[in-house]
């Protein structure tokens, strides 16, 4: 295996060393072989491979499925990569095929950012850049409202190169309980999805409503996490108290390690800003312990 460094593109930056065995994992054995072959990274002149992965094979309607895209230097030498993998920069795009559909559709990001001035990064062999990719929300609204199997792919355009990721398949199920269906409906109601994506904002009141009305639902776990991240970023809040609340909310989202990893960045930063550096390292270590599968492939280093 090859030791590499992950640079996560998001609200904050965390450096994590990964032990990887390839450039992206296919999600299930039941993907048709022709689809798998078509989804493999192109053997172009580019030194990079594009991967896409999900922490979950199944989600309930109303759960905010978040994918992780990785751009890996698969060449034997150092290579320059544009530091613009986040889909908000519009170089990485996510396509989705709905259940029973014949064509893919493009999920347009709800937020756009200007990437001018970000420059390039030099990635050593095996080193990678990663970004969180929301599959649940686009400019047209909530994306995963139908029950069934969804197939996702990512494409990345930079300079004269286009890379295509592996295919990821995720099943979306209707909640069996009426209360969960109610929670899902409210979570999908604008502006709640955007509030989850942005970790706060105008939809925070709806997230509060979900936590209060359906506290045991997975939708409440996601809502609670976004609210805790928002509170931790508020400098008027008691710092240690906010960090502890965020830690509890991060533990509560253990069933989705990609979202938990995104929150871990905020949590580690919260403790560092509070001057509690040992706590910052502890939560990262405990995160790995809570995810046996992740512990096999992740060796962390938080700066």
Residue-by-residue DSSP string for the chain: -EEEEEEEESSS--EEEEEESSS-----TTS-HHHHHHHSPP--S-SEEEEEEES-SEEETT---EEEEEEEE-SSS-EEEES--SGGGSSEEEEEE-TT-SS-EEE--S-----TT--EEEE-TT-EEEEEEESSEETTEES--SSEEEEEEEEEEETTEEEE---EEEEEE--SSHHHHHHHHHHTSTTHHHHHHHTSSTTHHHHHHHHHH-TTSHHHHHHHHHHHHHHHH-TTS-HHHHHHHHHHHHHTTTT-HHHHHHHHHHHHHHHHHTT-HHHHHHHHHHHHHH-HHHHTTEEE---
Judge if 181 and 94 occupy the same domain: no
Instruction: Give pLDDT tens digits for 213-250.
Output: 999 999 999 999 999 999 999 877 788 999 999 999 99
Distance of CA 40 to the CA centre of its chain: 21
- The answer on pLDDT for 204 being more than 70 is yes
Judge if 43 and 189 occupy the same domain: no
Instruction: Give pLDDT tens digits for 18-61.
Output: 333 334 333 334 444 444 444 454 445 789 999 999 999 999 99
pLDDT-derived band at 296, boundaries 50, 70, 90: very low
Judge if 169 and 180 occupy the same domain: no
Is residue 283 in a domain? no
Considering only residues 224 and 16, tell me which one the structure prediction assigns the higher pLDDT: 224
Is residue 297 in a domain? no
The domain in which residue 220 lies consists of 175-277
Instruction: Give pLDDT tens digits for 155-192.
Output: 999 877 899 999 999 999 999 899 999 999 999 999 99
Is residue 160 in a domain? yes
Q: Residue 177 class from Cβ within 10 Å (0-12 exposed, 13-18 middle, 19+ buried)?
A: exposed
Q: Is the backbone of residue 185 left (phi > 0), alpha (psi -120 to 50) or beta?
A: alpha
Judge if 123 and 108 occupy the same domain: yes
Judge if 189 and 167 occupy the same domain: no
pLDDT-derived band at 302, boundaries 50, 70, 90: very low
Residue 237: other Cβ atoms inside 10 A: 15
The CATH number linked to 34 is 2.60.40.10
Is residue 296 in a domain? no
């Amino acid at each position: 295996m090859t030791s590499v460094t992950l640079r996560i593109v998001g609200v904050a930056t965390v450096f994590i060393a990964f032990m990887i065995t390839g450039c992206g994992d296919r999600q299930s054995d039941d993907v048709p072989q022709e689809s798998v072959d078509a989804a493999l990274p192109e053997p172009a002149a580019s030194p990079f491979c594009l991967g896409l992965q999900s922490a979950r094979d199944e989600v309930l309607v109303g759960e905010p499925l978040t994918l992780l895209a990785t751009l890996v230097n698969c060449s034997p030498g150092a290579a320059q990569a544009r530091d613009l993998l986040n889909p908000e920069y519009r170089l990485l795009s996510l396509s989705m095929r709905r259940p029973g559909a014949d064509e893919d559709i493009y999920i347009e990001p709800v937020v756009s950012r200007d990437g001018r001035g970000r420059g390039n990064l030099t990635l050593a062999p095996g080193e990678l850049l990663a970004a969180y990719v929301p599959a649940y929300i686009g400019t047209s609204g909530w994306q995963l409202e139908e029950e069934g199997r969804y197939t996702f792919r990512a494409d990345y355009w930079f300079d004269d190169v286009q890379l295509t990721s592996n295919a990821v398949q995720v099943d979306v199920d209707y909640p069996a309980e009426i209360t969960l269906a109610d929670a899902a409906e409210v979570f999908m109601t604008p502006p709640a999805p955007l509030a989850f994506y942005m970790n706060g904002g105008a939809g925070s009141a709806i997230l509060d409503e979900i936590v209060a009305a359906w506290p045991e639902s997975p939708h409440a776990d996601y809502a609670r996490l976004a609210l805790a991240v928002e509170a931790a970023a508020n400098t008027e809040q008691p710092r240690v108290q906010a960090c502890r609340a965020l830690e509890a909310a991060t533990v509560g989202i253990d069933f989705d390690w990609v979202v938990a990893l995104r929150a871990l960045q905020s949590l580690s930063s919260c403790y560092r800003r509070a001057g509690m550096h040992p706590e910052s390292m502890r939560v990262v270590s405990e995160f790995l312990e809570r995810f046996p599968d992740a512990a096999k492939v992740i060796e962390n280093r938080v700066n």
